[in-house]
Amino acid sequence: MKTHDRAKAAPEIGHASERLIEDRRVKDKTKTQAGTAVCERCQAVGMHKHWFVDNALYESMAGNPLVRMVVCPGCKRIEKKVYEGEVLLDSPLLAENREMVYGTLYHAAAKAFLRNPLSRVALIEEEGEQIRIVTTTCTLAERLGKAIQKAFKGKLKIKPSKDEKFVFVKWQRREN
């Protein structure tokens, strides 16, 4: 993810995360850093078993010997192919508005990642008039489907699996 995109999405979540980080940093710096980890792949920061994205904080911690370099739970999900969502987009509009479609998907995914670094797009496939997206969380699959429906109208179906933690999201627009 590009830095400027994170910065753009940051104000929407800035309030809560900023407050938490500032409080912990100021009041309990040494203890916090000893238990802190950063992800070597996506640069997410983990504190007290909670992962979030904060560029400034990452920069301030890089190279600190008290901070562990690890692979965060979100990156592990992608590596181990732990998927919780599938989105199928189906419409001739997709090819006609490629830039807007991918812009919408990217924006929704970036926002979801900032809120919860476990939320990742693991796979995107295009075939004919369809785009198939596999995600690491249910919420992300739902967000992607809703974002596309908001931008392009059409029909959205969200079907959670009965047997496992998995959601199937289908968006379709077929009218002429």
Residues in contact with Zn ion by CB under 5 A are 39, 41-42, 44, 72, 75
Spatial CA neighbour of 89 closest among 142, 141, 130, 144: 130
Q: Cβ of residue 21: shortest distance to Zn ion, in angstroms?
A: 18
Q: Cβ of residue 125: shortest distance to Zn ion, in angstroms?
A: 23
Q: Cβ of residue 90: shortest distance to Zn ion, in angstroms?
A: 31
Q: Which is nearer to Zn ion, 10 or 88 (CB)?
A: 10
Burial label, 84 (beta-carbon count in 10 A; 0-12, 13-18, 19+) = buried
Q: Which is nearer to Zn ion, 75 or 167 (CB)?
A: 75
Q: Cβ of residue 23: shortest distance to Zn ion, in angstroms?
A: 24
Helices (H) and strands (E) counted in the chain, each on its own, are: 7, 9
Backbone angles phi, psi at 90, to 5 degrees: -140, 105
